[in-house]
């Protein structure tokens, strides 16, 4: 049986929008486009994001922007 204390809480769409300083609809659009990985939970299909996926997204954006110059 998995140890539940090792499970990190997932971020909501609002959490990610606040962290990235973008509108919540931007996070939804990126999720729909596959730009940032989201997991659908519950009967409503709410999006949840792992911290690692958000960090990876930020690193990719940073690398992309640093290669432009």
For residues 57 and 40, give the distance between their C-alpha atoms in angstroms, rounded to a whole number.
18
pLDDT at 59: 92
pLDDT, residue 66, reads 81
Written out in words, the top-level CATH class of the domain with range 9-68 is mainly alpha
- Measured CA to CA in angstroms, residue 32 lies from 7, 11, 26, 60, 69 at distances of 25, 16, 10, 18, 29
- Residue 65 binned pLDDT confidence (cut-offs 50, 70, 90): confident
Residue 5: both structure tokens together = 């204390």
39: tokens are 């997991």
Q: How confident is the model at residue 21 (pLDDT cuts 50, 70, 90)?
A: very high
Nearest one of 23, 28, 67 to 45, comparing CA atoms: 28
Predicted TM-score of the model (pTM) = 0.82
Instruction: Quick: pLDDT tens for 23-54.
Output: 999 999 999 999 999 999 999 999 999 999 99
């Amino acid at each position: 049986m998995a140890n539940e204390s090792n499970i990190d809480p997932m971020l909501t769409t609002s959490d990610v929008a606040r962290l990235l300083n973008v509108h919540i609809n931007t996070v939804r659009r990126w999720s729909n486009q596959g730009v940032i990985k989201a997991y659908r939970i519950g009967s409503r299909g709410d999006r949840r994001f792992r911290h690692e996926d958000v960090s990876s997204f930020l690193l990719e954006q940073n690398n992309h922007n640093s290669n432009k110059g």
